[in-house]
Structure 1
Amino acid sequence: MKIRLPLPVISVLLASALLGACSPKYNWRDYASQDAPYRVMFPAKPASVTRTVDLDGMQVSMTMTAAEVDGATFAVGSAEAPDEEHARAAVPAMVRALTRNIGAVGERAAAHAESGGRSVSDIDVAGSSNGQPVRLVGHFEARGKRFYQVIVLGNTNAMPSEQVEQFLTSFTLR
């Protein structure tokens, strides 16, 4: 016995099968940190690592949570300083360290703002890593004794503006 399906039904079944086989490049997911009071949307499943970093002589244990899509890394780093003053000082120290790491040129930074125990900087810079041109877009913030870096780093072509903006603007402190 042969079953004949009408052409529109076959078309719908074929389209459904093709769409089901596709995997979106950006698979956005909500992430709530277990180590620090923040939430963010990552474009893929993130992984975390904690290590000691030196920020202008201040040794801190920083947890970095990151996901990679097509050669662009989307990451949030968080740490706690001994006090609010050290946390605020960590913001420009992180900016200097990251821009120095890529030999940044043409640095564009939003006005660094400080008020009420809060310090914020935003950057968009170009540089190189392993001889390849890269772009670094970041938001750096200190509140109380905690400080954060929210960055996207990669080849400019691997960093669509709307994806970078979605990641950066999704970062919220709880």
Structure 2
Amino acid sequence: MLQTVFRVVLQFTRHPSCLSFGLYSPRNCAGDTASRRRRTRSAIRAAACALAIGAALSGCSPTFDWRTIMNNDNGYTVDLPAKPRNDERAVQIDGTPMQMSMQMAEAGDAVFAVGTVVLPDENDATQRKALDFLRSGLARNVGAAPDAHAVQIPLAAGGKVLGLEMKLSGRAGSDHEARTVYARLVARGRHAYQAAIIASKPLQQEQVDQFFSSFQLY
């Protein structure tokens, strides 16, 4: 994501028109018509470059187009900052195969996602194992300790249930890129949920609050 921004800026700073403007000197501007024409052309090129760079940067700046997503199959509603995409994969939790579905959207330098694990039963022990699996997996991905504290997760019909909240920072992937992870974990009935933001740099608190305050269970 960040590499895209850098590439765009480099493309425009290397553009011949912008370079010619960079070499512009007032000493070359005499009072004759030819000089005025050259000065006018230089000014036009400068304005064009400024507009091009401004458009490129504004196009790459984070855009949060929030929309409410109601996932009736998995029993939650959440606000996502872009049109979501879906994924599904098999996981093994304490030796038991389960299905985990993901609904995610990308905005700026962050991915916002809700993962749902379908549990084989509603037992407290099964729910705890699923939450431990999600918590340790998030921490392991960035090489951090799986620290968490209790938080209340709202229900769409009113009331709240107890869940876990995490904020982790570390390095991820083979390139050891910096990542900040914000997450809330909760189990209800035969579902365990992981609402998470994975960002290449810390986000403004209002974006974090928008996502988590909108995450509600049915």
> Which residue matches 1:109?
148
Structure 2 unmatched ranges of 5 or more? 1-57, 153-160
> Structure 1 residues 71 and 56, CA, compared in 2 at 3 Å: closer, same or farther?
farther
> Which residue matches 1:127?
170
Q: Specify the structure having the higher radius of gyration (Cα).
A: 2
* Match 1:155 to one of 200, 204, 209: 200
The whole-number CA distance in structure 2 between the counterparts of 1:88 and 1:120 is: 11
Contact 2:186/2:193 (<8 A) preserved:
yes
The whole-number CA distance in structure 1 between the counterparts of 2:132 and 2:113 is: 18
Indicate yes or no: 2:205 matched with 1:165: no
> Structure 1 residues 112 and 169, CA, compared in 2 at 3 Å: closer, same or farther?
closer
> Which residue matches 1:89?
129
> Which residue matches 1:10?
none
The whole-number CA distance in structure 2 between the counterparts of 1:165 and 1:128 is: 24
Q: Which has the higher contact order (CA 8 A, sep 6+)?
A: 1
Paired-residue identity, % = 33
> Which residue matches 1:73?
111
Per-residue deviation, 1:108: 4.5
Deviations 1:143-168 (A, max 9, x none): 111110000001124x2221011101
Per-residue deviation, 1:92: 1.7
Normalised TM-score (structure 2): 0.62
Structure 1 unmatched ranges of 5 or more? 1-21
The whole-number CA distance in structure 2 between the counterparts of 1:137 and 1:70 is: 16
